[in-house]
Structure 1
Amino acid sequence: MQTIIHSARLRGAGAPVASGEVGWVLVRDGAIAAAGTGSGWREFAAPETEAVDARDLAGPDPLLTPGLVDIHDHGAAGRLHADGAAASADIAAFHAAAGTTRIVASLVSADLDRLALQLDEIRAAQRFVPGLLGAHLEGPFLAPTRGGAHDRSSLQRPTGAAVERLLKPGGVVQVTLAPELPGGLEAISQIVALGAVAAVGHSDADFDTARAAFDAGATLVTHAFNAMPPLHHRQPGLLGAALDDPRVTLEAIPDRVHLHPTVLSLLFRAAPGRVALVTDATAAAGVGDGPTSLGGLPVDVRDGVATLANGTIAGSSITLSEGIRRAVAAGIPFHDAVVAASATPARALGRERMGTLEPGALGDLVLWDASLDVRAVWQDGRRLERP
Structure 2
Amino acid sequence: MSGATIQGNILTPTGWVHGGITFDERIAAVQGAPSNPDTNGDDYILPGFIDLHVHGGAGKDVMEGGDAVHTIARIHARHGTTSLLATTMTAPQDEIDVALTAIGKAVRQRGKNESRVLGAHLEGPYINSGKLGAQPNFARAATLAEVQRLEALAPLKVITVAPEIAGHLSLVRELAAEGMRVQIGHTLGSYDDGVAALEHGASGFTHLFNAMSGLHHREPGMVGAALAHAEYAELIPDLLHVHPGAIRTALRAIPRLYCVTDSTAATGMPDGEYMLGRHTVHKCMGGVRLPDGTLAGSTLTLDQALRNLVGLGLPLADASARVSTHAADYLGLQERGRLAAGAYADLVVLDRDLTIKAVYIEGERCDLNDA
Same fold (TM over 0.5): yes
Q: Tell me by how many angstroms 1:169 deviates.
A: 4.3
Q: Match of 1:42?
A: none
Q: Match of 2:263?
A: 281
Cα 1:126/1:168, change in 2 over 3 Å = closer
Cα 1:322/1:364, change in 2 over 3 Å = same
Q: 2: CA distance between counterparts of 1:251 and 1:268?
A: 11
Q: 1: CA distance between counterparts of 2:195 and 2:340?
A: 34
- Contact 2:97/2:153 (CA < 8 Å) preserved in 1? no
Say whether residues 1:33 and 2:20 are aligned partners. Answer: no
Q: Which residue of the other structure, out of 114, 120, 136, is the alignment partner of 1:151?
A: 136
Matches within 5 A, 1:72-221: 72-129=53-110, 131-152=116-137, 154-221=138-205
Matches within 5 A, 1:193-272: 193-245=177-229, 248-272=231-255
Q: 3-state DSSP class of the match of 2:30?
A: strand
Q: 2: CA distance between counterparts of 1:147 and 1:358?
A: 41
Q: Which residue of the other structure, out of 295, 300, 312, is the alignment partner of 1:330?
A: 312
- Contact 1:188/1:213 (CA < 8 Å) preserved in 2? yes
Q: 2: CA distance between counterparts of 1:265 and 1:358?
A: 29
Q: 1: CA distance between counterparts of 2:318 and 2:247?
A: 12
- Contact 1:280/1:315 (CA < 8 Å) preserved in 2? yes
Q: 3-state DSSP class of the match of 2:238?
A: coil
Q: Tell me by how many angstroms 1:231 deviates.
A: 1.5
Q: Match of 2:18?
A: 22
Which amino acid in the other structure matches residue 313 of structure 1?
L
Give a deviation string over 1:115-138, Cα, whole Å, max 9, x none: 122111110122222510011110
Which amino acid in the other structure matches residue 15 of structure 2?
P
Q: 1: CA distance between counterparts of 2:187 and 2:353?
A: 38
Q: Tell me by how many angstroms 1:234 deviates.
A: 1.9
Which amino acid in the other structure matches residue 269 of structure 1?
R
Q: Match of 1:10?
A: 10
Give a deviation string over 1:169-224, Cα, whole Å, max 9, x none: 44211100100001111221222233321111011111111111111111011000
Cα 1:36/1:245, change in 2 over 3 Å = farther
Q: 1: CA distance between counterparts of 2:162 and 2:356?
A: 37
Q: Tell me by how many angstroms 1:85 deviates.
A: 3.9
- Contact 1:75/1:281 (CA < 8 Å) preserved in 2? yes
> Identity, % of aligned pairs?
36
Q: Tell me by how many angstroms 1:38 deviates.
A: 3.9
Unaligned runs of 5+ in 2: 35-39
Q: 3-state DSSP class of the match of 1:181?
A: coil
Q: 2: CA distance between counterparts of 1:16 and 1:161?
A: 45
Q: Tell me by how many angstroms 1:113 deviates.
A: 2.1
Which amino acid in the other structure matches residue 204 of structure 1?
L
Unaligned runs of 5+ in 1: 40-58
Which amino acid in the other structure matches residue 253 of structure 2?
A
Which amino acid in the other structure matches residue 60 of structure 2?
R
Say whether residues 1:370 and 2:352 are aligned partners. Answer: yes
Which amino acid in the other structure matches residue 24 of structure 1?
G
Q: 1: CA distance between counterparts of 2:147 and 2:66?
A: 22
Q: 2: CA distance between counterparts of 1:196 and 1:38?
A: 39
Which amino acid in the other structure matches residue 125 of structure 1?
A
Q: 3-state DSSP class of the match of 1:204?
A: coil
- Contact 1:168/1:194 (CA < 8 Å) preserved in 2? no
Q: 1: CA distance between counterparts of 2:19 and 2:211?
A: 42
- Contact 2:233/2:257 (CA < 8 Å) preserved in 1? yes
Q: Tell me by how many angstroms 1:168 deviates.
A: 4.2
Q: TM-score, normalised by structure 2?
A: 0.93
Q: Tell me by how many angstroms 1:288 deviates.
A: 2.3
Q: Match of 2:37?
A: none
Give a deviation string over 1:43-80, Cα, whole Å, max 9, x none: xxxxxxxxxxxxxxxx9431110000000000100001
Q: TM-score, normalised by structure 1?
A: 0.89
Q: Match of 1:354?
A: 336
Q: 1: CA distance between counterparts of 2:28 and 2:227?
A: 36
Q: Tell me by how many angstroms 1:265 deviates.
A: 2.1
Q: Which residue of the other structure, out of 50, 72, 77, is the alignment partner of 1:69?
A: 50
Give a deviation string over 1:115-169, Cα, whole Å, max 9, x none: 12211111012222251001111010111111000111x1111223332332244
Matches within 5 A, 1:49-60: 60=41
- Contact 1:108/1:150 (CA < 8 Å) preserved in 2? yes
Q: 1: CA distance between counterparts of 2:152 and 2:195?
A: 27
Give a deviation string over 1:296-322, Cα, whole Å, max 9, x none: 111111101100011110000011111
**Number of aligned residue pairs:** 359
Q: Tell me by how many angstroms 1:15 deviates.
A: 4.7
